[in-house]
Amino acid sequence: MNESTFPEQKVVVLDFGAQYGQLIARRVRDLGVFSAIVPCDVTADELSAMNPSAIILSGGPASVYAEDAPKID
């Protein structure tokens, strides 16, 4: 990924299986800020290449408390 591929200000929504991930991203866009939803298995290098201004972690209780809950890099 190339830095010029992404806008200057952006919010990345890290999706842990949340039912509201799309809504969160839309509300961010409604504020005039680019947002992108990425899966929770994105690598730290890939996330860093996006150079986000903010990262929102979006998931439900099952994705947090489950024994096999997803983890981030």
pTM reported for the whole predicted model: 0.79
Q: Per-residue confidence at 62, pLDDT binned at 50, 70, 90? A: low
Rounded to 5 degrees, what angle do the CA atoms 13, 25, 55 make? 30
Read off the pLDDT of residues 36-59 as tens digits, 9 standing for 90 and up: 999 989 999 999 999 999 999 998
Predicted pLDDT at 70:
78
Quickly list DSSP for 13-31: EEESS-TTHHHHHHHHHHT
The count of domains in the chain is: 1
73 occurs within a structural domain: no
Containing structural domain, residue 6: 1-40+51-56
Q: Is the pLDDT of residue 2 over 70?
A: no
67 occurs within a structural domain: no
6 occurs within a structural domain: yes
